[in-house]
Amino acid sequence: MSEPVVFVSHGAPDALLKAPDAVAAWREIGQTIPEPSAILVLSAHWENRRPTVSLSDAPETLYDFSGFPPELYRMQYRAPGAPALAERVLSLLAASGLAVDSHASRGLDHGAWVPLSVMYPEADVPVTQLSLVQGAGPATHLELGRLLAPLRDEGVLIVCSGAITHNFAWLDWRAAPGQQPYSKAETFSQWVADRLAAHDVSALLDYRSTPYGAESHPGEEHFMPFFVALGASGNEAPQRYRPGFSYGALSMDAYVWRD
């Protein structure tokens, strides 16, 4: 049986403190999928000119944010690295003719360790990160996901961490729990779900032409992990998790594609 593919909207770095619905969804995902032999994470917070994988055997917890509560900076996720998986990723991508690179010591950014600390709180599953391709669009990342798909048959869980909506101008930093989400963010989040249900990959690739698509992502990096997940998933229909919106406009939707 192939391992699932997971996409999570990781929200703001303080999701662990202020997004209980999302935390509950991540916990459920971790509890209901088979435990993998290793985890490959692609996060919106690591981009490089070419796909780059971390060879670290003990990745550090990176605090790639500022201005958040002090307790976040005391949290650590001490999962072992997965250098063997990293080498496998390098060979798999290189065999397709893709130019790839490695990083000797790159740690786990918050797009990786925040959801993983809930999904696998024991931090006992080896994990490594692969970067996105800086400046590349949906089609490139969809193909990257397709190239990574064979890892699923090798016991590897592919976790893609980004955002369904990511426009800071829409955020209400004082939003109360249960507050009605910003209408444009809600509309685009539902459009993505509807296109997934219809297996309409071409519409998703052209998301910037749909109402609120470009506004949902002034920069594309937070949506690109979604396309990696879509590419790695094959033709499977995903299960949608629908936590409440964070700060009124960050859709916290997650999707799991299962064999």
Q: What is the pLDDT of residues 232-245, one digit of tens each?
A: 998 778 999 999 99
Lowest mean pLDDT among 84-98, 138-152, 207-221, 231-245: 231-245
pLDDT of residue 211: 93
pLDDT of residue 177: 76
Q: Which residues pair with 128 in a beta bridge?
A: 40
Helix axes 110-119, 20-32, angle to 10 degrees: 60
Fold for the domain defined by 5-257: Protocatechuate 4,5-dioxygenase; Chain B (3.40.830)
pLDDT of residue 95: 96
Give yes or no for residue 44 having a pLDDT over 90: yes
pLDDT of residue 237: 86
- 175 vs 178, residue with greater confidence: 175
| Whole-prediction pTM | 0.97
pLDDT of residue 234: 85
Q: Give the tens place of pLDDT for each residue, 205-253.
A: 999 999 999 999 999 999 999 999 999 998 778 999 999 999 999 999 9
